[in-house]
Amino acid sequence: FRGIFNNRDHRLYSSRLTHSRNGSAQEGRCLCTSDILSCTALGLEQIPKEMPVSAVTLDLSHNQIAQLKEDSFLGLSRLEILRISHNQLTFIAPRAFHNSSGTLLRHLDLSANHLCDLEQHYFADLPGLEELLLFNNRIVRIESSAFAKLRNLRKAYLSHNRLTDFPFFSIQKHTHPQLLLLDLSSNRLPKLPLEDISNLPTTIQKGLYLHNNSLVCDCSMYGLFHKWAERNFTSVTDYKEEHTCLVYGMQKGTVRFFKHDRYFEKCDFTGMKLPLAEQEGSVLAKAGSAVLLHCVTNLTGQHVTFFWVSPNQEYVAPPGNSDSLKMYSNGSLEIRDARAADSGMYWCMAVDDRQQRNETREVNLTVVTHQSQESYESFNTGFTTLLGCVVSLVLVLMYLYLTPCRCPPCRKAPPPPPPPAATTPGQTNEAGAGSAQSSILTPTPPTTTEGPGRKVSTNKHVVFLEPIREQQNGRIRKAGETDSIMSVFSDTPIMIP
């Protein structure tokens, strides 16, 4: 700020705000312009008591402040960004941020200090906080409710500390719906609570940084990071070289398990749970598998308790009723070995004892056995085949009976004149008047009846009714003359004497 505000075009606000160890005032300058107040590198041991109320950004970094007392920021009702990094902070008193902007404060930088514990009252008066920087401290313990009031928290940086444990179960979708980044890298975590981590929402798992810890190599640990790498989580893909674990717990046995994965070739990952997806109102599970049901509510805080009621009216509370039903303190219910009898509506209730409020959630679980799955598949296949046959039949009928257009009737050609025939006295010419020779269902007309003007059809199976020149009824036959009559169902003529 010094380089910016030494320009003649800016007005400088100079104020004597520093205090010595014995309480006497010393001259010091905080640079103030518009809504920015910078008091960096002035050797301050306490928070200045008189500061302009118009300050939106306050920078107290690179000083010697050891603690934040009650009402340290009294009157700063517009404060949004507060930087106290590179000091000697060891303690934050209750109500230290009381009577300040509170809900407006979005960015708090406490990095590079001497904090060892994070207690629940540290951030209780900052519900609007979005970014919290705590890296490069000496933090060894975090109370489970330290972040309970930070519903708007988006990014939390806790790397380069001395953490051996972290309350993952306190970070959930209903308690921290905006959280996208949680940096726990470069700590001393020896083992990860996989059940609590798998219970985290997917949005938090994508931004969970755990590299450069003291993790002991085992299949479950490797399986978790392997699943994250398959899903291209940036917390893993951007730091593959820095993901290490200890072989047999020895420091000299540190391996980069993404480069030397041969140590985990014998691991079986089939039984491992995938990273948690968002909880649905209806859950379908296979018989024999583990099922995790979540109680998602808007109630938060240490005074919120959870319990479940199973379909058979069984009351379930932490840690669970039996080996098959396990319940966690964050409200999740695990059914380890699901059976068909476990199907039904599960009812969860979250109760806030202090505010006398409660919320409920219903989850419908359906457990499908292998036999049921096979029957469902066979039914679907048979139904699909039947439907295909019906559609084909309908198309054939439409083709046969639904003519696309109506053609005008064709004109009939005039019949050809009959050929001249010789007649004898006493014989009448009955050509064309005699009964037709039967050729019904005969593939070919008989060769003995061919004559001039007759059509020969050898390939059409149709019914012909053609005029016959020979007289049959009442005709006087000559000696040795025979008639041939075609059999209705045979091509062989029957000779009649």
Work out the mean pLDDT of the chain and round it to a whole number.
76
Which pLDDT score is estimated for 436? 42
Which pLDDT score is estimated for 355? 67
Does residue 113 surpass a pLDDT of 80? yes
Q: Which of the pair, 239 or 372, is modelled with greater confidence?
A: 239
248-253: Cβ within 8 A, 24+ apart? 248/217, 249/216
Does residue 124 surpass a pLDDT of 80? yes
Domain final residue pick, 212, 237, 264? 264
Q: Is residue 91 part of a domain?
A: yes
Among 134-143, 234-243, 289-298, 459-468, name the one with the lowest average pLDDT: 459-468
For residues 343-363, give the mean pLDDT.
Answer: 82
- pLDDT, tens digit, 9 for 90 and up, residues 167-194: 998 888 778 999 999 999 999 999 999 8
- pLDDT, tens digit, 9 for 90 and up, residues 312-321: 888 888 877 7
Does residue 466 surpass a pLDDT of 70? no
For residues 323-344, give the mean pLDDT.
Answer: 82
| Domain hosting residue 352, numbered range | 282-371
Domain final residue pick, 213, 230, 264? 264
Residues 217 and 324 in one domain: no
Residues 252 and 104 in one domain: yes
Residues 259 and 298 in one domain: no
CATH number at residue 307: 2.60.40.10
DSSP string, 157-180: E--SS--S---GGG--TTT-TT--
CA–CA separation, 371 and 278 (whole Å): 28
Residues 286 and 348 in one domain: yes
Sheet holding 181-183, edge to edge: 31-33, 36-38, 57-59, 81-83, 107-109, 131-133, 155-157, 181-183, 208-209
Does residue 335 surpass a pLDDT of 90? no
AA identity, residue 264? F
The model's confidence at residue 285, banded by pLDDT at 50, 70 and 90, is confident
Q: Is residue 259 part of a domain?
A: yes
Report the number of distinct structural domains present in the chain. 2
Q: Which of the pair, 142 or 420, is modelled with greater confidence?
A: 142
Among 200-204, 271-275, 313-317, name the one with the lowest average pLDDT: 271-275
Does residue 27 surpass a pLDDT of 60? no
The model's confidence at residue 418, banded by pLDDT at 50, 70 and 90, is low
User: Which of 312, 302, 392 has the alpha carbon at shortest distance from 354?
Assistant: 302
Helix (H, G, I), strand (E, B) or coil at 373: helix
DSSP 231: T
Which pLDDT score is estimated for 315? 84
Q: What is the pTM of this model?
A: 0.55
Residues 197 and 225 in one domain: yes
CA–CA separation, 113 and 136 (whole Å): 7
Does residue 14 surpass a pLDDT of 70? no
Percent of the chain at pLDDT above 70? 67
Does residue 63 surpass a pLDDT of 80? yes
Domain final residue pick, 371, 406, 426? 371
For residues 439-446, give the mean pLDDT.
Answer: 44
Q: Is residue 451 part of a domain?
A: no
Residues 253 and 308 in one domain: no
Does residue 20 surpass a pLDDT of 90? no
Residues 193 and 228 in one domain: yes
Which pLDDT score is estimated for 381? 58
Residue carrying structure tokens 């669970």: 320
For residues 420-445, give the mean pLDDT.
Answer: 44
